[in-house]
Amino acid sequence: MNKKALRADVLLLLTALIWGSGFVAQRSGMKYVGPFTYNALRFCLGSLSLLPIMFYHAGKNLTEHADGSWKTLFLSSLAAGACLFFAVMFQQIGLMFTTVGNAAFITGLYTVLTPLFGGFWGQKTGAWTWGGVFFTLAGLYFISIAGNPQAVNVGDVFAFVSAFFCAVHLLLIDRLVLRNDPIRLSAGQFAVCGILCFPCAFLVEPRINGFIADVAPTLLEKGTFAWLPVMDIVAGLVGASAINIVNLLIPILYGGLASVGVAYTLQVIAQRDAPPAHAAVILCFEGCFGALCGVLILSESVGRWTALGFALMLTGMLLSQWEVIVKSRRKEVV
């Protein structure tokens, strides 16, 4: 392996670590603000963090067939941002009812669903993908029931729906990036997603506590997600202590700058030199890092059934990418 490929693999591994640990920030942030408020702040911040890169590449066409039209960019950002909004909405709400490890692994189902859904766009779905589907669904079963067949975690259901939208979003980006500068498209879709979250923060969040009271009242009793309405939070910050403000800002800054801005940039840089097989395998470990950070930082427990589910899902994710791995190795040999 040459030095460029090795450096790219290290950057991809760091990307997977940032994305995986980002689930901890997402869950921790909801101790202070609601799910829509958190997503609004982090995605707007993530969009702004890409502006220096956009200015640096100003005048350069990073996509060969991009038409450079602002109308195309606007419509593409609107479509991708709306799809991303639904993906992160279900993911963020799901994190209120399930563990970071579960959310990270189940959201990672998009690596299996993407080639599966690709069949609707004329892409061939091979036997390895179907094998990956079997293992991931088996893993999902063990993760969700956790040894109790009568108890399906509602948070896992939300995470599964999020994975569905993540897969659709990835396929949509695959088409849109052919006509748009990738950095501009990313900044645009992040901005659209953040803007869509703002009205929901005012209109939907006040009703979520009622939903929590019906589904998981113990969360409110513990004060885990008993956040205040947006305007009360803003008013409360005026008289809040520096410690409280820092505790609020850390998960927002990490979720916006690290998970969105830094990790995306690292991925773009790394995939210029990383073989597709390396990228496919390394990024699948996002769920592993998420589960590990959940245990180390949030003291989440992982039972034997959940651990088995994690192992099965990781196996399924790797199997679904096997065709990419084989094709890449053949090209390297040739």
pLDDT at 219: 60
Kindly report, residue by residue over 209-243, the tens digit of the pLDDT. Answer: 666 666 666 665 554 565 666 666 665 555 555 55
pLDDT at 333: 46
Query: How far is it, in rounded angstroms, from Cα 228 to Cα 47?
Result: 26
pLDDT at 83: 94
CB 79 within 8 A of CB 283: no
Kindly report, residue by residue over 249-259, the tens digit of the pLDDT. Answer: 888 899 889 98
Query: How far is it, in rounded angstroms, from Cα 240 to Cα 232?
Result: 12
Q: Which range has the worst mean pLDDT, 1-10, 22-31, 115-124, 308-317?
A: 115-124
The candidate with the shortest Cα–Cα distance to 28, out of 267, 189, 259, 207, is 259
Taken in order 322, 325, 327, 333, the sign of the CA dihedral is negative
Task: Tell me the C-alpha to C-alpha distance, in Å, between residue 205 and each of 193, 212, 230.
Answer: 16, 11, 9
Retrieve residue 275's tokens. 């073989």
Kindly report, residue by residue over 275-326, the tens digit of the pLDDT. Answer: 655 666 777 788 888 888 988 888 888 888 788 888 888 887 777 666 655 5
> What is the tally of helices (H) and strands (E) in the chain?
18, 0
Q: Report the run of H or E that residue 211 belongs to, with start and end.
A: helix 205-215
pLDDT at 334: 46
The candidate with the shortest Cα–Cα distance to 105, out of 285, 281, 287, is 287
Residue 294 main-chain phi, psi, to 5 deg? -60, -40
Residue 62 main-chain phi, psi, to 5 deg? -80, -10
Per the model's pLDDT, the better-predicted residue between 265 and 166 turns out to be: 166
Kindly report, residue by residue over 59-85, the tens digit of the pLDDT. Answer: 555 545 456 678 888 999 999 999 999
Task: Tell me the C-alpha to C-alpha distance, in Å, between residue 37 and each of 30, 46, 111, 201.
Answer: 9, 14, 28, 5
Query: How far is it, in rounded angstroms, from Cα 249 to Cα 251?
Result: 6
Is 229 buried (19+), middle (13-18) or exposed (0-12) by CB count in 10 A?
Answer: middle
Query: How far is it, in rounded angstroms, from Cα 334 to Cα 17?
Result: 32
pLDDT at 119: 65
Q: Which range has the worst mean pLDDT, 5-9, 20-24, 108-112, 241-245?
A: 241-245
- Residue 199: pLDDT above 70? yes
- Residue 136: pLDDT above 70? yes
The residues spanned by each domain of the chain are: 3-333
Full-model pTM: 0.80
Q: Write out the DSSP string of 55-121.
A: HHTTT---STT----HHHHHHHHHHHHHHHHHHHHHHHHHTTTS-HHHHHHHHTTHHHHHHHHGGGG
Neighbouring residues of 38: CB distance < 8 A, sequence distance ≥ 6 = 26, 29, 30, 92, 251, 252, 255
Distance from the Cα of residue 55 to its chain's centroid: 26
